[in-house]
Structure 1
């Protein structure tokens, strides 16, 4: 698509107008959104992702140019790669591994980044290159370095940026290491979900600089956008802004196969008890309870299996031992049956975390924050003075 496409220009204007009305896009970014069209950075085959159903529908530019154009400027996430590029069919693959984020999410993150003229930015996760293009247009190509771990994705993004007349530093490499050759940076923007903030990002940031990243725990797929300010001592601290969900950094993905040996037979010799905690108490996809459980029960992975009969089984697995727990919820029953095995009493920890959260007035994620030092990561409620390791 040419930058001069009249249809593309109208669609880009309409998208910018809609984002301005919602407040996701600020006036300072509006001109850039109009000048750097999302469609220029998309491959010919994309998969429009429905956030409500979780389904991804393929749309081919050659087969359905009008549908492809609508998807390009719609406020929906578009999957652009499956299974680290190993999947090449038009049907969806198993795991989405690269995407074009929702325009509203992109706009809001750029707003929260808080850039101004002359700032140098490091972007972790180039993806399609659209976010890098927006930053390069706003700040100048020489003030941006973007790092992408997938060589094919990096090459495609580089070509798209060139078509847009933009020339930021586009690096094929592991974003966890940052890019020291371009340091120090005023801003580090991470466009993949992280479970640990890399110390390299702190080292390569100026004091007073900002690291903006979707952060979460292995407890769930949830991420919350955290805005960390780097201190003179090299630590960084800041609040969670809102819930998001991003594809995870490749070396920080959770491999569920690691738990195959945890439960050789169910329930085996597990201890059995009952609980009045209900399944909704544990929180759903974007609810704060689920996020807080991850903060308060570190090193724990959690998943819920549901059956057509109305039974749901919530699993909890320890990341460092063979400890596990399962709570079985049956429709219409006031109590659930709990099974626990191993030295770590995972359900007891989850139940205690839920009681604590309720006792604090059920605070949302925005009252929590994160502090990162060379020693690790610590979460806190209302302020970093009282914090705990995560």
Structure 2
């Protein structure tokens, strides 16, 4: 195997210069753990047309492979829940289901955990195992438990961790349940996105402990990194620290909207001009707010046979919809079902705009065993409570 010590040191330098890497202990971990061990058998690189080019570690030029491994980007390692780069020899299509997150994101998250020596950490979403290895180096392998729902992904991560010299507690199963055998933990970190933080994670964290997870809906954007501290009373409170993007936890991933939406939206209760363009929901903070306001809604893009753009909000559980059509710079919205989705979202977008359009980091969060409450301070109109079924 090619020695990548220089690449690891260069990566640490970039992370430090960016302000993400701030502690000597984490720098030592970045310099010590070879990321390439956690990318076997290979990766998929995106190309035009929504396709993927497989690149395998074996057979690639060592210098080119090292350049890919230590690039500042996430690297897809699995498509459609089963396909790896060594199984194909040409361009393929598919949806990413496992990846090695960009080192900038990984290191930023572990730094935010504020770990101390001998802390026990539960990681939800082993993935390739690279972040697990960093934590094993920092805390010792006996203090790291990592959970992965996909047995094939877990097996590859275990092999990579063993090659790197670590034997941690790796659990294959439902990542939302955690691993109660070694609870309570001082820290819980999720390397997947969830629509809400499961209360089981709060229950398995010591009072004063930190839970760090990406929260939001199932849109693929408009999600935020939540950092909450667990209290003596079993609740947790904190804030959204900034934007964050991860693949959805499989047990919380919403299935794609299927069927003919035009048929489901044929009969509307109301029709009017939208006060905001629905394209605003393609921006990060408005999308986050929309998913707080209407957590069951899905944002769907489509087109007519003539090529005209159509946008939908559709809530399959409530059988409610909002359909948008463009007419020049204006948009018309048709709504139907028991919930007027765009009315709800538009009301909150108006309140957010009137409050000065605060960033996602202004959002606070409180978690109990019965509900999640989000709010923006000093704005009584900007509060959302999601009850846990």
Q: Secondary structure at the match of 1:256?
A: coil
Are positions 1:26 and 2:22 aligned together?
A: yes
Counterpart mapping for 1:312-323 below 5 A: 312-323=309-320
Are positions 1:305 and 2:302 aligned together?
A: yes
Q: In structure 2, how many angstroms separate the alpha carbons of the residues matched to 1:110 and 1:37?
A: 17
Q: In structure 2, how many angstroms separate the alpha carbons of the residues matched to 1:383 and 1:189?
A: 30
Residue 169 of structure 2 is matched in structure 1 by 169
8 Å contact kept, 2:221–2:287:
no
TM-score by structure 1 length? 0.90
Equivalent residue for 2:58, pick from 44, 62, 67: 62
Are positions 1:281 and 2:276 aligned together?
A: no
Counterpart mapping for 1:37-76 below 5 A: 37-48=34-45, 56-65=52-61, 66-76=63-73
TM-score by structure 2 length? 0.90
Are positions 1:340 and 2:339 aligned together?
A: no
Residue 349 of structure 1 is matched in structure 2 by 344
Residue 99 of structure 2 is matched in structure 1 by 99
Q: Secondary structure at the match of 1:249?
A: coil
* Bigger mean CA offset, 301-310 vs 224-233: 301-310
Residue 238 of structure 1 is matched in structure 2 by 238
Unaligned stretches of 5+ in structure 1? Answer: none
Are positions 1:159 and 2:134 aligned together?
A: no
Q: In structure 1, how many angstroms separate the alpha carbons of the residues matched to 2:316 and 2:202?
A: 26
Residue 9 of structure 2 is matched in structure 1 by 13
Q: 1:164 to 1:337 in 2, by over 3 A?
A: same
Q: 1:131 to 1:307 in 2, by over 3 A?
A: farther
CA displacement at 1:237 relative to structure 2: 1.3
Q: 1:58 to 1:360 in 2, by over 3 A?
A: same
8 Å contact kept, 2:212–2:226:
yes
Per-residue Cα deviation, 1:70-115 (whole angstroms, up to 9, x for no partner): 1111111100111111574353442211100001011101111111
Q: Secondary structure at the match of 1:267?
A: coil
Q: In structure 2, how many angstroms separate the alpha carbons of the residues matched to 1:49 and 1:185?
A: 38
Q: Secondary structure at the match of 1:281?
A: helix
CA displacement at 1:275 relative to structure 2: 2.1
Q: In structure 2, how many angstroms separate the alpha carbons of the residues matched to 1:34 and 1:53?
A: 36
Q: 1:357 to 1:92 in 2, by over 3 A?
A: farther
CA displacement at 1:11 relative to structure 2: 0.9
Unaligned stretches of 5+ in structure 2? Answer: none
Residue 248 of structure 1 is matched in structure 2 by 248
Residue 81 of structure 1 is matched in structure 2 by 78
8 Å contact kept, 2:355–2:379:
no
Q: In structure 1, how many angstroms separate the alpha carbons of the residues matched to 2:148 and 2:127?
A: 7
Q: 1:206 to 1:134 in 2, by over 3 A?
A: same
Aligned length: 380
CA-based RMSD: 2.5
Residue 364 of structure 2 is matched in structure 1 by 369
Q: In structure 1, how many angstroms separate the alpha carbons of the residues matched to 2:13 and 2:130?
A: 18
CA displacement at 1:314 relative to structure 2: 2.0
Q: In structure 1, how many angstroms separate the alpha carbons of the residues matched to 2:378 and 2:81?
A: 39
* Bigger mean CA offset, 85-94 vs 362-371: 85-94
Q: In structure 2, how many angstroms separate the alpha carbons of the residues matched to 1:108 and 1:313?
A: 38
Counterpart mapping for 1:208-219 below 5 A: 208-218=208-218
8 Å contact kept, 1:118–1:139:
yes
8 Å contact kept, 2:220–2:245:
no
Q: Secondary structure at the match of 1:176?
A: coil
Equivalent residue for 2:376, pick from 353, 377, 381: 381
* Bigger mean CA offset, 15-24 vs 66-75: 66-75
Q: Secondary structure at the match of 1:99?
A: strand
CA displacement at 1:26 relative to structure 2: 1.8
8 Å contact kept, 1:48–1:77:
no
